[in-house]
C-alpha cells in the first residue's frame, strides 16, 4: 500500500488513545519530526482512523476500536527550521490536499491518502506538519498517541493551520496527533517495520533526541531501507493477533521485527501459552499476505522488565520457547533480552545502567545504542535470501 513511498521518519505515530469530549471542538496540531533525508522531496501522508493498541486496561481505548467522525479543515507541511518553538520558516508552508480539496470529512475506521506535494527541506531542518481538526460530535472521535512525547509538538485552539509564526500555539503535554505514515518518494532495497510496545516506540528517551534503538538502527541501515516504527505504549501481542488496523500496518513490511510481550505478561496477565499463541497468530497472519509477497519475520525475545513471582516465570518460559522453538514462520530470532539482562540468576532484571531511571525499567538512550549496535552486526550476518 505504501507503494513507492518510503517512511520519512522513525517517530512512531501508532495510536493508543482516543479523544473524548462533551462538545465539538476545532483545534490545530503542529509536530516537528526529523526527516531521514533532506533536499527536494515529494511527500505523501496516509492515515488510519482507528486505535491500534489498548491503553492501560482498555477502559477508554482498545485495539482495533474505530475512531469517530471528524473533519480536516486544513493541513500544511513546512520547513520547521531548527528551533522547534511553534513556528515554521516563513513562506515555506505547502498546503496538503486530499483528492484536490484542502479539507476532508473522515469516517469512522477510514483509511486515506493525501495528494502528493513538493517541499524542500534544508539539511538539519525538521519537517513541521500542521493540521486543524474539527470533531463532528461529542464522545470518542480522533485516535492519537499518548505518552511522554518523543518530539516537540504544539496545539492551538481554532483553525490556525496556516499560522507560520505560531503565536497561539502552546506545547502539547502528552498528545501526539499525526497521520499514521509520512512518506517520501524513494526507491528502497527493503521496507522494515518494527511492531512493538513502548520499548520499541522509544518511550523515556530524550525528547527530540532520537536515541532509541529503532532510530539508531535506521541510521545504521541508511536510507536504502525504509524503516517504519509502529511501536505503541501499553501495546500487547493480543492487540496485534486480533488482525486489525495495527497488524495491517505491519503487513506492509518486507521485513517485520516483532518485539512484544512485556505488557502481555504485566497488565495483560497472559499465561506463557496464551502469549506464545498470540505471537504464533501474528506470525501466521503476516505470512499469509494476499499479494503473495514473502515477508521475513524477525522475532525478538521479551526484554527484561524486572518481573517477579508468576510474571517472572512466564517471562522465562516464553523466552525459552522463543529461543529454542519459535513459532512456525519465524525466520530469525534476535535476543534483545540477552543484551539488556543482568547476569544469571537475575537475567529477568535489566542492567541498572540501561534503565531510564532508578525505578523505571524502560531502556534508556545508552541501551538504545547498545541494542542497535548488536542488531546491526547481527542483521548483517543474516542470510539475505
pLDDT tens column, 123-166: 999 999 999 999 999 999 999 999 889 999 999 999 999 999 99
Does 122 lie in the same domain as 54? yes
Specify the number of domains making up the chain.
Answer: 2
Question: Taking Cα atoms as reference points, which of 152, 112, 155, 174 lies closest to residue 25?
Answer: 155
Does 38 lie in the same domain as 99? yes
Alpha carbon distance 33, 322 (integer Å): 35
Q: How far is CA 100 from the centre of its chain?
A: 28
Cβ neighbours of residue 339 closer than 8 Å, sequence gap 6 or more:
370, 371, 374
Neighbour tally for 339: CB within 10 Å: 22
Q: What is the CATH number for 316?
A: 3.40.50.1110
pTM above 0.75, yes or no: yes
Does 23 lie in the same domain as 136? yes
Does 280 lie in the same domain as 175? no
User: What per-residue confidence (pLDDT) applies to 1?
Assistant: 46
The dihedral formed by the CA atoms of 43, 185, 202 and 354, expressed in degrees to the nearest 10 = -140
How much helix, strand and coil, in percent to the nearest 5, is found in the chain? Answer: 20, 30, 45
Q: Is 258 within 8 Å of 71 (Cβ atoms)?
A: no
Range of the domain at 60: 5-181
Does 193 lie in the same domain as 171? no
pLDDT in tens, 263-316: 999 999 999 999 999 999 999 999 987 666 789 999 999 999 999 999 999 999
Max CA distance (Å), the chain = 62
Q: Which residues of the chain have pLDDT under 50?
A: 1
Does 341 lie in the same domain as 218? yes
Does 355 lie in the same domain as 235? yes
Alpha carbon distance 290, 292 (integer Å): 5
Amino acid at each position: 500500500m505504501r507503494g513507492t513511498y518510503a517512511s520519512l521518519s522513525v517517530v512512531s505515530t501508532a495510536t493508543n488513545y482516543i479523544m473524548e469530549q462533551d462538545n465539538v471542538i476545532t483545534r490545530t496540531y503542529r509536530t516537528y519530526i526529523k526527516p531521514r533525508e533532506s533536499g527536494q522531496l515529494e511527500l505523501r501522508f496516509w492515515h488510519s482512523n482507528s486505535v491500534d493498541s489498548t491503553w492501560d486496561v482498555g477502559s477508554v481505548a482498545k485495539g482495533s476500536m474505530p475512531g469517530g467522525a471528524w473533519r480536516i479543515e486544513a493541513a500544511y507541511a513546512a520547513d520547521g527550521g531548527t528551533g522547534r518553538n511553534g513556528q515554521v520558516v516563513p513562506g515555506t508552508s505547502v498546503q496538503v490536499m486530499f483528492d484536490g480539496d484542502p479539507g476532508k470529512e473522515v469516517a469512522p475506521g477510514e483509511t486515506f491518502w493525501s495528494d502528493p506535494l513538493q517541499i524542500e527541506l534544508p539539511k538539519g531542518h525538521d519537517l513541521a506538519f500542521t493540521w486543524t481538526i474539527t470533531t463532528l460530535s461529542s464522545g470518542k472521535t480522533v485516535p492519537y498517541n499518548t505518552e511522554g512525547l518523543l518530539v516537540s509538538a504544539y496545539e492551538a485552539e481554532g483553525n490556525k493551520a496556516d499560522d507560520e509564526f505560531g503565536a497561539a500555539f502552546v506545547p502539547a503535554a502528552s498528545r501526539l496527533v499525526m497521520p499514521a505514515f509520512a512518506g517520501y518518494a524513494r526507491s528502497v532495497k527493503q521496507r522494515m517495520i518494527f511492531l512493538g510496545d513502548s520499548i520499541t516506540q522509544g518511550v523515556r528517551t530524550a525528547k527530540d533526541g532520537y536515541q532509541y534503538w529503532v532510530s539508531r538502527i535506521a541510521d545504521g541501515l541508511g536510507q536504502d531501507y525504509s524503516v517504519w516504527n509502529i511501536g505503541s505504549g501499553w501495546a500487547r501481542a493480543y492487540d496485534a493477533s486480533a488482525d486489525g488496523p495495527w497488524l495491517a500496518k505491519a503487513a506492509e513490511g518486507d521485513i517485520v521485527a516483532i518485539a512484544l510481550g512485556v505488557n502481555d505478561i504485566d497488565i495483560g496477565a497472559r499465561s506463557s501459552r496464551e502469549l506464545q499463541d498470540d505471537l504464533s497468530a501474528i506470525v501466521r497472519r503476516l505470512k499469509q499476505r494476499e499479494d503473495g509477497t514473502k515477508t521475513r519475520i524477525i522475532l525478538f525475545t521479551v526484554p527484561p522488565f524486572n518481573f517477579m513471582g508468576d510474571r517472572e516465570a512466564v517471562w522465562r518460559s516464553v523466552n525459552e520457547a522463543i529461543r529454542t522453538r519459535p513459532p512456525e514462520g519465524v525466520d530469525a530470532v534476535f535476543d534483545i533480552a540477552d543484551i539488556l539482562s543482568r547476569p544469571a540468576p537475575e537475567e529477568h532484571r535489566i542492567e541498572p545502567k540501561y534503565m531510564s531511571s532508578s525505578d523505571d525499567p524502560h531502556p534508556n538512550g545508552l541501551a538504545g545504542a547498545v541494542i542497535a549496535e548488536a542488531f546491526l552486526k547481527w542483521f548483517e550476518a543474516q542470510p539475505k535470501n
